[in-house]
Structure 1
Amino acid sequence: MSELLTDLEERMKKSISNLDEEYTSIRAGRANPHILDKVKVDYYGAPTPLSQVANISVPEARMIQIQPWDASLLKDIEKAILTSDLGLNPTNDGKGIRLLFPELTEDRRKELVKDVKKKGENCKVAVRNIRRDGNDTIKKQQKNKEISDDEVKELTDKIQKITDKYIKQVDDAIESKSKEIMTI
C-alpha cells in the first residue's frame, strides 16, 4: 500500500512543480529570463527554445537582453516574441534584442494576482482529484476484501495528511507570488 501513497505523493509534487512553472511565466514587472522559457524560435526548420539559440541576460531590473549566437536569427526571435502571449514589444538594434518591462499599474497588479489565485485554485483541484483517485482505489480494495476496515481508515488518514501538506504548499505559493506582484 505504500506504493499507492508514494504514487499519490509523486503526482501531487508534479502538480506543485507545474504551478511553479506557470508562476515563473507570469510577468510581475521585474525582468525574469524564465518568462522566455516557452518561447520557441524556428531554427533550421525546427522549433528550438530561445535559450538554446541565444544568450539571455538581465542587465537592469526592467530589461532583458537577448544576444543570438547567429545574427541571422534576430528577425525570427523578434517574431517568436511578438507571437507569444507575453505582451512584450522587442527592440531590435541589429546586434541583439531588448525587452523592456513597463511599470505595472495598480489595476494590472490586481489582475495578475487574480490570475495567480486562479492558477493556484486549479492546482488545488488537481491535488484533490489525486486524493479522490487514491480513496477510490482503497474503496475498491476494501470492496474486493483485499484490505481490512482498519487499513482503510489508516490509509485514508494518511492520504488526507499528504493532501493537506500539498494544499498548504499551494496556499504558500499563492501568497508569496501575490505579495511579489503587489510590492514591485
Structure 2
Amino acid sequence: MLHRLLREGRAPRLLDVRTPAEFRTAHIPGSYNVPLATLSEHRAELRDHLDEDVVLICRSGARAAQAGQALAGAGLPGLRVLDGGMVAWEEAGAPVNRGPERWDMERQVRLVAGSVVLASGLVGVLVPGVHLIGTAVGAGLTYAALSNTCAMGVLLSKLPYNRGPRPDIRTVIAELRSTR
C-alpha cells in the first residue's frame, strides 16, 4: 500500500528513526532521517509539524514503535509503523535509495555480544570467574529481548562508525514545513 502511495505521489510523511549511518546505507525515497534519540529529545517541536499521516520506519519495527510511543506521549497518537521495517520493504522489492554499505545495528550487536561471550569463555578456561562476563552479556541480551530495548545497541550507536553527520532538527523541521 505504501509503495503504491509513493508511486502515486500521495505518500504520508516518512520518518526514518535509524542511525544516520543506517539511513545513508539504504532508505525509502522521500523519507526524513530523525534518529530515535533526536526524535525523543525534540518530540514536542516535531509534533507541531506533523499530523497523523506519518509512517515511522526503522530496520525491523522496534525502534519505530518506540518513536511512536514518544510522539504519542507528546500528543500525536495513532502514527503508523512500517510493518517489518526496511527489511520487509527491501524484500518486497520496493524502491530504496542506496549509499555506502554498512553493517546494521542488529548485526553489530551480534558481533560484539558473540565476541565477548566467546572471549570470556576461552579465557575463563584459564582464569576462574572470567566466564561471568559472558553470563552478564547473556543476561543483558535476555533483558533486551524482554523489554524490547538494547543497551548495547544504544552504546554502539554512539560510535563514530554509526554516527556520521547527525541530522539537524532545525533542518528537518524546515523540510517538513516546506513539503506540506
Class of the TM-score when normalised by the shorter of the 2 chains: under 0.3
As a proportion of its length, which structure holds more strand?
A: 1
Rg: which structure is higher?
A: 1
As a proportion of its length, which structure holds more helix?
A: 1
